[in-house]
Amino acid sequence: MDMAGAPTDRIPLYTIALPVIGVAAWLVIGKAGLEPLALLLVAALLGNVIAAVHHAEVVAIKVGEPFGAIILALAVTTIEVGMIIALMLTGEPNPALMRDSVHAVVMLVVHGLAGLCIVVGAIRHRESEFRVEGANAFLAVLIPMATLVLVVPNFVVSAPGPYYTPLQLTFVSIACLALYGAFLFIQTNWHKDYFLAGRDDVAEVAPPSGRMALASFGLMCVSLFSVVVLAKSLSPALLEGVGAAGAPIAIAGVIVAAVVLLPETTAAVRAAAANRLQSSLNLALGSAVACIGLTVPTVAVVAWWIGQPLQLGISPGATVLMGLGFLVAIITYGTGRTNVLSGIVHLVLLAAYIFYIFAP
């Protein structure tokens, strides 16, 4: 995780003010449709995303790697869960929202974020190196989880259509939690070295004091709360905007994924530019694993509580494209080094994913 940009001797004033402003805006404005006030809420939401990332980076410096990337992934997953639940509880039911968001995170991370980091690293350094064992561990967990959540529902016969029965959804949720838990165990214990860059690639950053780390943790929680409530305030505007533009409803999931991945994107690209592709992959692929491993069980519980079914299976065309994407990822991460061609291939696959949303 690239944390060199986070000051550890002070807390920037804007990271203190933004969470307070965000909560105040939510209390004063409430829900907003397509109106100028929505722009203020968007600015406050994005500002709180930045503040949350800053505080997560400070805490991550204190605890060290690979816990730094895990903390940021958990923070981002919290934002995503909050946004999905806020949209689920607003307006007309959208049973496919979680599916669209999880699918978008997988495609945006595996092709968009990873591809962009590879290209940035190639432009600056021609070739970038990383640990094959770490990348393979990410894919070994991500591929089965994505398949269980997004593909298998189309083929089970207990429920019609791309749905799971409550029993099946419970099993898949437990399976995702188990896979994520097993992954965290090897990432933080037995095979921690798989996810660590070489010592020459690690930037030396003075650790913050315990008091500052604790303050940053508290402010991070407030920032995340602010992001969640602001997302709930903006959910009517998002749904109205998608309808007014005549865009496919699936684009709402892409927007949710794009917003929650902004923190990861900033940190990962910065790490790639500094020739720390291992840190970039930890951030990018780690966010996708955390997304499925934690978002699916949490949203499944909320959906059960409010009595809303979850439409999970993606279309046959999307299944083929996702399978192709994983095959390319296996090739890309199988050598331990990348070049600009690998990055361009992934970005083209991302472009294909976006294109086929509008032209299925």
Q: Is residue 3 part of a domain?
A: no
At 230, list the tokens: 């602001």
Q: Is residue 1 part of a domain?
A: no
Q: What is the pLDDT of residues 35-72, one digit of tens each?
A: 677 788 888 888 887 887 778 778 877 776 667 667 77
What is the per-residue pLDDT for 69? 65
205-242 burial, b at 16+ Cβ within 10 Å, e below that, comes to beebeeebbebbeebbebbbbbbbbbbbbbbbbbbbbb
Pairwise pLDDT comparison (3 vs 249), residue with the higher score: 249
CA pair distance 12, 221, nearest whole angstrom:
16
Average pLDDT, the chain: 79
CA pair distance 251, 358, nearest whole angstrom:
9
Q: Is residue 7 part of a domain?
A: no
Q: Is residue 314 part of a domain?
A: yes
Residue of 321, 328, 302, 294 whose CA lies nearest to 149: 294
Query: How many C-beta neighbours within 10 Å does residue 295 have?
Result: 23
Q: Rg of the chain over CA atoms, in angstroms?
A: 20
Q: Is residue 61 part of a domain?
A: yes
Q: Is residue 194 part of a domain?
A: yes
Average pLDDT (213-224) is: 84
Q: What is the pLDDT of residues 129-187, one digit of tens each?
A: 777 787 788 888 989 999 999 999 988 888 887 888 889 989 999 999 899 888 888 88
Q: Is residue 122 part of a domain?
A: yes
Q: What is the pLDDT of residues 101-120, one digit of tens each?
A: 888 888 888 888 888 888 88
Q: Is residue 5 part of a domain?
A: no
Helix axes 277-290, 67-88, angle to 10 degrees: 40
Residue 106: domain span: 13-358
- Report yes or no: 165 and 159 within 8 Å, Cβ to Cβ: yes
CA pair distance 150, 130, nearest whole angstrom:
29
Q: Is the dihedral of CA 91, 95, 100, 105 positive or negative?
A: positive
Q: How many domains would you assign to the chain?
A: 1
What is the per-residue pLDDT for 144? 92
Report the CATH number that the domain containing residue 38 is assigned in CATH.
1.20.1420.30
Per-residue pLDDT at 302 exceeds 50: yes
Residue of 111, 99, 97, 73 whose CA lies nearest to 322: 111
Residue 163's SS3 state is strand
